[in-house]
Amino acid sequence: MSTIVRFAPSPTGLIHIGNARTALLNALVARREGGRFLLRFDDTDRERSRREFADQTEADLAWLGIAPDAVVRQSDRMDLYAQAAELLKKAGRLYPCYETQEELERRRRLQLARGLPPVYDRAALALTDEERRGLEGEGRRPHWRFHLDDVEVAWDDLVRGPSHVACASLSDPVLVREDGSYLYTLPSVVDDIDLGVTQVIRGEDHVTNTGVQIQLFEALGGHVPAFGHHNLLTSSSGEGLSKRLGALSLKSLHEGGLEPMAVASLAVLVGSAESVRAVASLDELAGLVDLAHISRAPAKFDEAELDALNAKLLHDMPYGDIAARLEGAGIGGGAAFWEAVRGNLTRWGDAAAWWPVVEGPVAPVIEDHGFLGQAAALLPDGPYDGGTWRAWTGAVKDRTGRKGRGLFMPLRLALTGLDHGPELAALLPLIGPERARARLSGQTA
């Protein structure tokens, strides 16, 4: 059977790095196994769902390099859910309930006071047809609950191993609200059946739902997929992530100048048996995914670690992979410039800060006019190459007796206006003799 997986966000906010972990794990499993990756928007909540959030989610996934094989919206599939609900009603598995939220809350408090679990007592099943008509005559409209079999549902979780849920300890879940709208569970299972999903890979906050959903798959006559529940990501301080708060959203990480593979590497590898490292491609990352080797404990997403991975990717990135971006940003110098500056970059945007150091104008910092005058007199006419810096500074050292910081720092300050930066052996050929000579004499050039 061909692997079919899905990522099913609700378009109610910006997806964050925790959501990206789920999307990436699904997409990488499909990539490795030659399967299909589906993007399904769970947008049945009409009040909170927004098309702009769905569009941004697709843009975020594209930035990560994820291209869904199909995009599905639950708002387009309401007839399927209605058909499934009718099937369950006819089978006696979906039954009407008329209690208000206040009445249910009173029952829960009473059960707790008696030391009983606060699960729904199925009182609605005892209602006669006449009692139901009476309640509806009062203006009440039913919500519909799925009658769970009081059994223990077991499955071999792709992440957690042998798992089970005692359904007798759960309330019969509401699948259809009073207004006829659907809660998450029914549309999700109907879609997984209709789309042929073979593996449901999602966060561990859905573990308890699995017992209910397996019973629902069976009640609807669908193939039960394999389930895998990965650990959740938290912020570096241990706080949970939320679309509502916008914490670590992919949009903000993208706009912050991070490389998508740095984000993907950390999102996938943190909290697993694999060491966290900068991985250059999704194909390589797919080869490292092993759901069985994901930790059970929550994993912290550390932005400082993300910066380190991002820097590593940039330091190792060949010019061919960056050339178009440099050109698009108006940065010249070609491969020579990239080789000169990439070791000093933490984020891509840093490259733009070094191009003016080459092209100018630079206001030189002059500490010792006499020393710099001697250095300028020894500066060769050109052309310059990778050996020019060493030959020139060697000559300056022999003439002035200076060495170490006393030799190199005044030259750096004059040539770049800064006390730090890329190796001058690589920058000097880009600066060239004319600008170098002007800056050594204190001219802005």
Q: Which fold would CATH assign to domain 80-176? A: Glutamyl-tRNA Synthetase; domain 3 (3.90.800)
pLDDT of residue 244: 61
Is the Cβ–Cβ distance between 146 and 212 less than 8 Å? yes
pLDDT tens per residue across all 445 residues of the chain? 799 999 999 999 999 999 999 999 999 999 999 999 999 999 998 888 999 999 999 999 999 999 999 999 999 999 999 999 999 999 999 999 999 999 999 999 998 888 888 999 999 999 999 999 999 999 999 999 999 999 999 999 999 999 999 999 999 999 999 999 999 999 999 999 999 999 999 999 999 999 999 999 999 999 999 999 999 998 877 788 776 656 689 999 999 999 999 999 999 999 999 999 999 999 999 999 999 999 999 998 888 999 999 999 999 999 999 999 999 999 999 999 999 999 999 999 999 999 999 999 999 999 899 999 999 999 999 899 999 999 999 999 999 999 999 999 999 999 999 999 999 999 999 999 999 999 999 999 9
| Rounded Cα gap, residues 140 and 100, in angstroms | 9
The torsion angle over the Cα atoms of residues 368, 371, 375 and 378, rounded to 10 degrees, is 150
pLDDT of residue 113: 87
pLDDT of residue 30: 98
| Rounded Cα gap, residues 177 and 69, in angstroms | 32
With 0-12 / 13-18 / 19 or more C-beta atoms within 10 angstroms meaning exposed / middle / buried, residue 173 is: buried
Q: Which two tokens stand for residue 123?
A: 């009182």
pLDDT of residue 234: 87
The CATH number of 1-70+184-316 is 3.40.50.620
The CATH number of 369-440 is 1.10.10.350
